[in-house]
């Protein structure tokens, strides 16, 4: 059963996941299509699943690259813990706060990637030669995040 969330908020505060979703244009959304499911290429040795190279790389990257600086991760974890504790007394408010926290984290991630892209574009606009190594690192961050996002 879904709980309706309050719509009261001060302008610029209380960001929700619905606010983030409204920002996407309809033509940019990926629509799910019905069709046959792909044939699984999973292999097992006994009870253990054998990962292919791409899966191993994705797992290694997901474990190696933090999405947030350590201080921000600590703050996010603490906020989550506070919200989770408050659920017992005020479940509706806790759900609203959880939605806001998720929206804030998603917004912050978008800002991190936008800043990184902006820095590269400034270099390109000035005619600076961006090193392949800088581009490789940026690309790895996108790839790592993408694999982590799909594994949720």
Each domain of the chain, given as residue ranges in start order, spans 52-151
Helices 91-125 & 70-86 angle (0-180, nearest 10) = 160
Mean pLDDT of the chain: 75
**What 3-state DSSP class applies to 48?**
strand
pLDDT of residue 18: 82
Q: Where are the beta strands (DSSP E) in 96-140?
A: none
Q: Global pTM? A: 0.58
Residue bearing the bigger pLDDT, 57 or 107 = 107
Residue 106: exposure state from Cβ atoms within 10 A (0-12, 13-18, ≥19): middle
Local confidence band at 98 (pLDDT 50, 70, 90 cut-offs): very high
pLDDT in tens, 119-142: 888 888 888 788 888 888 888 888
């Amino acid at each position: 059963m879904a709980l309706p969330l309050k719509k009261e908020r001060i302008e610029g505060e209380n960001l929700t996941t619905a606010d983030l979703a409204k920002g996407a244009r309809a033509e940019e959304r990926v629509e799910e299509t019905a069709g046959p499911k792909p044939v699984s290429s999973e292999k097992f040795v006994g009870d253990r699943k054998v990962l292919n190279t791409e899966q191993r790389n994705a797992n290694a990257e997901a474990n190696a690259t933090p999405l947030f600086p350590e201080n921000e991760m600590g703050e996010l974890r603490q906020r989550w813990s506070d919200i989770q504790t408050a659920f017992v007394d005020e479940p509706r408010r806790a759900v609203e706060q959880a939605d806001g926290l998720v929206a804030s984290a998603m917004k912050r991630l978008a800002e991190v990637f936008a800043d990184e892209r902006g820095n590269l574009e400034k270099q390109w606009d000035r005619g600076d030669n961006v090193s392949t190594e800088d581009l490789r690192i940026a690309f790895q961050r996108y790839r790592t995040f993408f694999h982590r996002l799909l594994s949720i």
